[in-house]
Amino acid sequence: MLQKSDITSLNEEELSALTNEVDIKKGMEKLFDLGIKIVNVTFGKEGQWLSDGKTIIKTKPPKVFAADTTGAGDATISGIIYGILEGKSLVDTARIAVSLSAMEIESPGVRVGTPVKYSELEEFMKNHQITQTIVNL
């Protein structure tokens, strides 16, 4: 199934189990070798690594109070898909994804914290510190 996918997002444990790699970069490379174009690896409150195989955008999420982490992964991949469909840069896509995840976990329940309008997401990103590091491969 992965060979038919363009995008995937997994947590670090799933990546290791799937690729038999402890090294995150090597695990990501194996997914790119399958033909996947965009790979995201999440690390819980430590953030995510979003890559197109040429660059990794390491994004630390803003500090929020986690009321319920249910739906965080779904919010992340939703942000990635949105960013790609809207033609956003990899950096902006990573910011959107990590912000949607942070907004989701602030409220108990699924989809309760996610914004209805893009302007709500923009306001969240404007008011929260999101740290990013760009690594060229």
* pLDDT single digits (tens) 100-129: 999 998 887 666 678 889 999 999 999 999
Q: Provide the whole-model pTM.
A: 0.93
Q: What is the per-residue pLDDT for 92?
A: 98
Query: Which amino acid makes up residue 105?
Result: I
Instruction: Answer whether 114's CB lies under 8 Å from 103's CB.
Output: yes
Instruction: Name 58's Cβ contacts closer than 8 Å, sequence gap at least 6.
Output: 47, 48, 49, 132, 133, 134, 135
Q: What is the per-residue pLDDT for 40?
A: 98
Q: What is the per-residue pLDDT for 21?
A: 97
Distances (CA, A) of 18 to 11, 14, 24, 43, 87: 11, 6, 12, 16, 29
Q: What is the per-residue pLDDT for 112?
A: 66
Mean pLDDT by 10 residues, the chain (137 residues): 91 97 97 97 95 98 87 94 97 97 84 84 96 95
Q: What is the per-residue pLDDT for 68?
A: 85
Instruction: Answer whether 117's CB lies under 8 Å from 87's CB.
Output: no
Between strands 38-42 and 7-11, the pairing is parallel
Query: Which amino acid makes up residue 10?
Result: L
Query: What CATH number did the domain enclosing 14 receive?
Result: 3.40.1190.20
Domain count, the chain: 1
Q: What is the per-residue pLDDT for 11?
A: 96
* Rounded distance between C-alpha atoms, residue 77 and residue 11, angstroms: 11
Match 């690896």 to its residue by tokens: 41
Range of the domain at 64: 2-136
